[in-house]
Amino acid sequence: LPFLPLSLLSPPSPLSSLPAVVGNKIDLPRRDVDQKLASTYAKTHNMPYIETSAKTRQGVDDAFYSLVREIRRWKEVKNDDTTLKNKGKKKKSKCRLL
């Protein structure tokens, strides 16, 4: 397979690397990687799959928007986890000088 082994992608924190499969050069008539194979690979590894052409800019904006959506989704999950962890804790009163 022409894909990077996922075992090489072991980021120290979840947002230091957000893997995605991006098929470039979709403006060319011949493909080096089958679209269905790339899409299946991305789904299997729970990654977004986007096709782009740097030459025509087709799909380039979609690629960035897709990654922004993934980051937002990750942040929502992280916030939900934090809310659940803090749900049973009492808030400490803070000393305030007026």
Question: Which tokens in the block code for residue 65?
Answer: 């928007």
Which pLDDT does position 48 carry in this prediction? 86
pLDDT < 50 positions in the chain: 1, 98
Q: Is the overall model pTM greater than 0.75, yes or no?
A: no
Q: What is the pLDDT of residue 88?
A: 61
The secondary structure of 28-55 as a DSSP string is SSS-SS-HHHHHHHHHHTT--EEE--TT
Give me the residue spans of the domains in the chain: 18-72
